[in-house]
Structure 1
């Protein structure tokens, strides 16, 4: 019997629904190899419907753990990634070739969603937008960034998924300044929608005042983008550098801004002390240094997105400052926590952009990336089969909504 006949016989031996149910439990890396089994398997695995079902299952079970994707500078201009479930950065000393890289000269990661990275080329004003799936190594055509710049250095942007309309969107705005040269839209933010009918549009800015301490990338969770900002109308009577922080939100379905309070309303001694947003267990989380204490950072999660009463303290991070160079005026951003295996926390040191691993159970530093390795951006990215090209087209871009 020929190989082709054997494949056809094997292909017909199980019901299609059962085959699909089995393959939904298979990791992405193995699925990429299984596509060669037969045409029907390749068609199934390559379909957008299967890719989304597989992604939903893997994100709910948190298996496999997400990838850690980062962009280095000085040493390389590639985008690197590896599994966050290991003590990944420990391998750099012994196995420097274990990391997977993607050539990305001049490109920077601006967001992560459903296994896709959103890349911009150049600094603001950006030149292009590109989508990259680091696991499948598939990349979309580059979309020209059509909007002109009349803005200061305080720019915020983000990348996320609108479930209702099955669309990926890139959002950008800036404080107290315009984005578009036309005076009629000077108060607007811009939204780019990827897809079969790509378009730029202008949306209204928040009606409430807010400020950014620096340019920021949004955190995607529950169909929204989120940034830490401060209220510039509320300052300390003692020190004008003290602000109250809150979360600026953008609903990708309704394309509208909103705000949420943090569980502890406190005044920060320096504006560089902004809490750091991340996602833990599919929930929005933030980390900040507790005032008037030793160097202890508290991590809170919002168990039900949008319900401010659901903020819950997750854990505290005592940091040995003399080991990692972290002081009370330095930011840290927890990225991933390995529990229950070893209680190791992978975090970003905001003082120099380097990663470190801290053991919460033993309260000791496991590893800190040595001098010479610096990150310009770090994101967690779920392994997925989502195709960037399916959601990105070079058809004529509708700019009728930018007036």
Structure 2
């Protein structure tokens, strides 16, 4: 009797084709997919497969183009929070950092759901905050005596994380950059970590006489890189100062492993009385400039190969009446099909104040040009806080979804 009931119950459960199941799962968030792995072995095998991880990532990137990206709120005291770009109520999701480090950490790269994190003992990690997976990277052979790379002692390493689509692998790039303008610069050696082989290699890149501009109000990841994914391949960008004390951008092609330099639009930069920083909007590198009188302007970089570069203005944001003299706005991303711009408020002091809250604005691009304010609250005081756009993914630094 019980057997007949089980058979009758099973008869009401339709057997969906595998392609339909896959299509449904691709639309689900990472958090739910992590639980669905335990439904059956077939689903676990599917969800952790390389093909599915890549398809899910591509689906998330398509959603990003429709302005459904997340924003990661970072601080130097082991605090990571997720905020949906359209969440104007200020509610955030706390993400637990997997390692305990009393001196904190800093994020120096972000790519396809992975963060490149450096602890204050110089240990480098790859971490997926959506899945909790992390991996400690081996020490590069070029690491010299302790303390030689710190600020004030001459040099600073520029780090970044990117994806090489030609070999389906993730790379961590480490470049030596001067921390002071008066120090001579010789040939540049780039250390490149390859995730699949779990090893570092050295490559010679074209040397530029530049130095790192350590001004917190100008930087995005302090000494980290912005990653842009284009149809051709991924590119890393760092903001630097050239030998004539002009603002410039170092550009590193992930696939070709070539270093070039790009200059911002004319009359953009600190030398012209404006605060100049980098951002990523719609997959393109952007220059964001704050002007005391005119407000904020966002310029997008258009690339034609590795030689021709041009800039086009995306949006102009008027200065708010309530803006204080020591404030400037840091745009994060577009929301609602580009109709709104999410921005955080920064201050020009060395640190962004010892406060337990972060102020944000949603700027609506209409005839009224309205600003909507909301706050993000922290559980402890933070010296500095950073916001980056982030795509949740199943990509793991430990090989799940990666062919080896």
2:290 matched residue in structure 1: 289
Match of residue 336, structure 1, among 322, 333, 336: 333
Question: Unaligned stretches of 5+ in structure 1?
Answer: 93-97, 179-184, 234-242, 396-403
After superposition, residues 103-142 of structure 1 pair within 5 angstroms as 103-104=98-99, 105=101, 106-122=104-120, 126=122, 128-142=123-137
C-alpha separation between the residues in 1 aligned to 2:159 and 2:5? 52
Instruction: Please identify, of 33-42 and 48-57, the stretch whose mean Cα deviation from structure 2 is larger.
Output: 33-42
Q: For 1:379 and 1:99, how far apart are their aligned partners in 2?
A: 15
Partner of 2:237: 226
Cα distance change on mapping 1:177 and 1:266 into 2, 3 Å: closer
Which residue in the other structure is 1:359 paired with?
A: 363
Which residue of 2 is the match for residue 95 of structure 1? none
Residue 195 of structure 2 is matched in structure 1 by 195
Find the residue that maps to 1:216 and give its secondary structure.
coil
**Cα distance between partner residues in 1 of 2:363 and 2:80:** 27
Partner of 2:389: 380
Partner Cα distance (2:44, 2:4) in 1: 20
Greater CA drift, 365-374 or 204-213: 365-374
User: How far 1:281 moved relative to its partner?
Assistant: 1.2
Deviation, structure 1 residue 256: 1.4
Judged with a 3 Å threshold, the aligned counterparts in structure 2 of structure 1 residues 211 and 17 are, in CA distance, closer, same or farther, namely same
Report 1:256-267 matches (<5 A): 256-266=258-268
- Return the alpha-carbon distance in structure 1 between the equivalents of residues 362 and 277 of structure 2: 17
Coordinate RMSD, CA, aligned: 3.8
User: 1:181 maps to which residue?
Assistant: none
What's the offset of the Cα at 1:364?
3.2
CA distance in 2: counterparts of 1:246 and 1:166, whole angstroms: 30
2:247 corresponds to which residue?
Answer: 245
Aligned-pair distance for 1:49? 1.7
**Secondary structure of residue in 2 paired with 1:175:** strand
Contact 2:249–2:264 at 8 Å: present in 1 too? Answer: yes
Which SS does the other structure have where 1:91 is aligned? coil
Q: CA 1:47–1:8 in structure 2 vs 1: closer, same or farther (change >3 Å)?
A: farther
SS at 1:87 equivalent: coil
| CA distance in structure 1 between the partners assigned to 2:23 and 2:261 by the alignment | 40
Asked if structure 1 preserves the Cα contact closer than 8 Å seen for 2:75 and 2:382, the reply is: yes
| CA distance in structure 2 between the aligned counterparts of 1:326 and 1:173, rounded to whole angstroms | 33
SS in 1 for 2:28: coil
**C-alpha distance in 1, partners of 2:130/2:212?**
33
Contact conserved, 2:79 with 2:95, CA < 8 A, in 1? no
1:25-65 deviations in whole A, cap 9, x for unaligned? 23323322322332211111111221111111220232673
1:66 aligns with 2:69: yes
CA contact (8 A) 1:82 1:99 kept: no
Superposed counterparts of 1:156-171, under 5 Å: 156-171=158-173
Structure with the higher fraction of residues in helix conformation: 1
- In the alignment, structure 1 residue 217 sits paired with structure 2 residue 224: yes
Which residue is equivalent to 1:22?
A: 24
In structure 2, the partner of 1:99 is 94
Measure how far apart 1:208 and its partner are: 3.5
The TM-score with structure 1 as length reference comes to: 0.76
Contact 1:80–1:99 (8 Å) recurs in 2: yes
SS at match of 1:53: helix
Residue in 1 that maps onto 2:52:
50
8 Å Cα contact 2:171/2:195 also seen in 1 = no
